[in-house]
Structures are given as structure tokens and as C-alpha cells.
């Protein structure tokens, strides 16, 4: 399995972070819930900056991230949040080298 991750930083205009979240909830959350290729997704408010959102996504296959970001839900989201952001989202990719996964099945001993 070739698990890839995305780390995304959104810098909202002052006081607009909750509006960015509402746009995410309207445009992306339903698609993310329905997609099996997202095996982990965390949408987080940065504790040290009231205008920053940090997102962690893990995909079962690296190609899935590109497919998702080229879909209509993502396009609608970007159109909705662009006026609310200080600059375009910063997106960093990474390949999982090791992970502790509590969701993994536990093997039984005989």
C-alpha cells in the first residue's frame, strides 16, 4: 500500500476562519465522508493563530489526492474560500514511512 498524506495550511483573513470552515462543511465534508480513499482526515484550528486552519489527510493511494483536488467539490470550495483567505492554501505532500494506527485490526492469538 502506498499511503500518501497532505498537510494543508489555510490562512484566513482576520476573523474569517469560521466562514472558511462553513465553506469546507458545505462543499467538501460530504464528499470526504463518502470517499473511501480518505482513510484519515483531520480539520484543525491552529491553537497559536486564530486565523489559521491546518488539515491532515491520509490517502490509501497517492494518486487519489490529485483526483480529489481536480473534482467539482474542490473547485466549488476554492471558489467559495478564495475571498476569505489571506493567500492560497499551502499544500505539502508526504509519503507515510511509519504510522501507529489504532484503527488497524488486532490479530488474535490462538
Share of the chain above pLDDT 70, in %: 88
Does residue 87 lie in a domain region? yes
* Cβ neighbours of residue 109 closer than 8 Å, sequence gap 6 or more: none
Does residue 19 lie in a domain region? yes
Per-residue model confidence (pLDDT) at position 62: 66
Total structural domains within the chain: 1
Does residue 107 lie in a domain region? no
Residue 78 has pLDDT above 80, yes or no: yes
Residue written as cell 464528499? Answer: 31
Q: What is the CATH number of the domain that holds 61?
A: 3.30.70.100
Does residue 65 lie in a domain region? yes
Which residue segment(s) compose the domain that 74 sits in?
4-95
Helical ranges in the chain per DSSP H: 17-27, 29-34, 63-69, 72-81
Does residue 102 lie in a domain region? no
Does residue 85 lie in a domain region? yes
**pLDDT tens digit string along 84-105?**
999 999 999 888 888 777 665 4
Does residue 89 lie in a domain region? yes
59-86 mean pLDDT: 85
Per-residue model confidence (pLDDT) at position 76: 93
23-47 mean pLDDT: 90
Distance of CA 57 to the CA centre of its chain: 4
Does residue 104 lie in a domain region? no
61 within 8 A of 39, measured Cβ to Cβ: no
Give the predicted TM-score (pTM) of the model.
0.82
Residue written as cell 470517499? Answer: 35
Amino acid at each position: 500500500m502506498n499511503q500518501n498524506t497532505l498537510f494543508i495550511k489555510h490562512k484566513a483573513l482576520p476573523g474569517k476562519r469560521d466562514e472558511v470552515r462553513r465553506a469546507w462543511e458545505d462543499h467538501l465534508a460530504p464528499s470526504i465522508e463518502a470517499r473511501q480513499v480518505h482513510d484519515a482526515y483531520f480539520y484543525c484550528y491552529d491553537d497559536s493563530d486564530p486565523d489559521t486552519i491546518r488539515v491532515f489527510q491520509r490517502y490509501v493511494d497517492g494518486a487519489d489526492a490529485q483526483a480529489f483536488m481536480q473534482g467539482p467539490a474542490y473547485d466549488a470550495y476554492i471558489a467559495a474560500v478564495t475571498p476569505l483567505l489571506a493567500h492560497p492554501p499551502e499544500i505539502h505532500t508526504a509519503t507515510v514511512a511509519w504510522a501507529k494506527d489504532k484503527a488497524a485490526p488486532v490479530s488474535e492469538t490462538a
